[in-house]
Amino acid sequence: IRKDNSQKPAYVELKKKIKEEWMTSLSLVTDPRGNLEFTGFAGEYEISCLGETKEISLKRTPKENYQEMVMG
């Protein structure tokens, strides 16, 4: 961003990458047992189900990423 608060082209492109490519936003349906799986980038996520929201954190290594959550 320039001193006059106008956006430089690199800022616009980075914002576009973050908001349109790197941000995960999706709707999923559970299997018959009520389970679901998803793959995402490492980072923080908010999971919402039946009006309830919980936060999870995905790590860089797959072995650390299994998380069990009960909602609803």
Give pLDDT tens digits for 9-68: 999 999 999 888 887 778 888 889 888 888 777 888 888 888 889 898 887 776 666 666
Tell me what pLDDT residue 16 has: 93
CA dihedral in degrees (56, 57, 61, 64; nearest 10)? -50
Query: Is 69 among the domain residues?
Result: no
Query: Is 20 among the domain residues?
Result: yes
Tell me what pLDDT residue 45 has: 87
Query: Is 24 among the domain residues?
Result: yes
Tell me what pLDDT residue 15 has: 93
Query: Is 27 among the domain residues?
Result: yes
Tell me what pLDDT residue 62 has: 65
The CB density around residue 64, as the number of other CB atoms within 10 Å, is 11
Query: Is 51 among the domain residues?
Result: yes
Global model pTM greater than 0.85: no
| Domain extent for 60 | 9-64
Q: 38 or 71, which is more confident?
A: 38
Q: Compute the distance between CA of residue 6 and CA of residue 3 in angstroms, rounded to an integer.
A: 7
